[in-house]
Amino acid sequence: MVGSIKVKSQNLHSNGSVQNCASMEEKLDELRHLLGKAEGDILRIVGVGAGAWGSVFAALLQDSYGQFREKVQIRIWRRPGRTVDKATAEHLFEVINSREDVLRRLIRRCAYLKYVEARLGDRTLLADEILKDGFCLNMIHTPLCPLKVVTNLQEAVWDADIVVNGLPSTETREVFEEISHYWKERITVPIIISLSKGIEAALEPLPHIITPTQMINRATGVAIENILYLGGPNIASEIYNKEYANARICGAEKWRKPLAKFLRQPHFIVWDNSDLVTHEVMGGLKNVYAIGAGMVAALTNESATSKSVYFAHCTSEMIFITHLLAEEPEKLAGPLLADTYVTLLKGRNAWYGQMLAKGELSLDMGDSISGKGMIQGVSAVGAFYELLSQSSLSVLHPEENKPVAPVELCPILKTLYRILITRYFLVFIKIQQARFLTNLMP
């Protein structure tokens, strides 16, 4: 009622956000109704994969809707057995003792002693164990709310109504092929929200990309209208710490609009868009070019001029590639390029590029880095290069007036491929990398 001064009930969550209980329950009831949930029938949401973004996403849902236990169940699956090394355990102990709210919570749950023992080296912690207490192995510095963790994949997904894919693209196909075995006798079709960024290249019958939503579709047989992609200009830890962010959920109108409403929070605004392929392609590309951005930053002593030149060239390549691979791409501005910008500023792929250029990491260490997780840009470099090298995709060279493979018009992508995949320039990285990545034709 307009002008009413009645105060609705509020709830303060572990990340400090204030949510209006009545409005959150209304949004939950709306989604339950759309999914045909009867009174007393639990809406089951499960996150698959517990990297930084996957864990934060589950924690946001738990903070918002976990209080309505009779209506919704929120859980997260991760593989069992991953140990926490002593150095990480020591860092985790420091984080715990720097946060009074976290310290009190662990003491109240009788869980503090095991972190003391791990700090002393008298006990080995497991990643799934600490996740139950609200700590993501890839994001130790940002405590989350406690999560309901399942380590058996079949138990996690067999009756899930909404599955959130928080896996790297390199693991998505394998895990969802396993999930498909558990869904053979399902009557209802689940909704899948993919957070994964990355692509695979396929060359038969014609060269084309395979995005994570397509991997899921092919692995499970779930109709593409029930599979959506969510991405945007955000950093997981900053979102959980209430820094204002936005994202887009992309896919069929049937589900994207109600899900955008369901996921929207005061500090995390979710819009919706129909252009699934363009957003997934850009989501994969931004990780590619973030690695180069990190290299440029390190090798030019954080030169603003060099970084801006690189940004101009890399966005030109991204736009060229996206227009080549998407049939009717959305105008590539605003939120799509903003996702690239934030990843170049602070994402793990940019960090990886910096560490390589400084010599603090080596390529021999692989693309799964302790404390950071999977560096998706590495596999994406290989996939985009392989695809764009195909002569059947030839385009007209603007100066030489002859057909060339598209990769010939992508000098940054070519250079990143030579560094990360063939390692051709590895010996010269300290001397020549800045020139390769900044002094390039538009």
Q: Which residues are catalytic?
A: 286
> Kind of pairing, strands 368-369 and 373-374?
antiparallel
Distance CA 38, CA 33 (A): 8
Backbone angles phi, psi at 191, to 5 degrees: -100, 135
> The tokens of 365 are what?
């260490």
Q: Which residue has the tokens 């690239």?
A: 340
User: Under a CB-based contact definition with an 8 Å cutoff, are residues 176 and 220 in contact?
Assistant: yes
Distance CA 2, CA 27 (A): 21
Beta bridge partners of 18: 12
Distance CA 231, CA 250 (A): 8
Q: What is the CA radius of gyration of the chain?
A: 23
Q: Which residue has the tokens 């994964």?
A: 196
User: Under a CB-based contact definition with an 8 Å cutoff, are residues 434 and 300 in contact?
Assistant: yes
Distance CA 208, CA 203 (A): 6
Q: Which residues contact residue 204 at a Cβ distance below 8 angstroms, ignoring those fewer than 6 apart?
A: none
Distance CA 423, CA 196 (A): 26
Q: Which residues contact residue 131 at a Cβ distance below 8 angstroms, ignoring those fewer than 6 apart?
A: 50, 55, 76, 78, 137, 147, 149
Burial class (CB in 10 A: 0-12, 13-18, 19+), 9: exposed
Q: At 370, is the secondary structure helix, strand, or coil? A: coil
Q: Which residue has the tokens 């693209």?
A: 169
Q: Which residues contact residue 423 at a Cβ distance below 8 angstroms, ignoring those fewer than 6 apart?
A: 363
329 upstream amide cis, omega within 30 of 0:
no
Beta bridge partners of 163: 46, 192
> The tokens of 16 are what?
């400090």
Q: Which residues contact residue 333 at a Cβ distance below 8 angstroms, ignoring those fewer than 6 apart?
A: none
Helix and strand numbers, DSSP H then E, in the chain: 18, 16
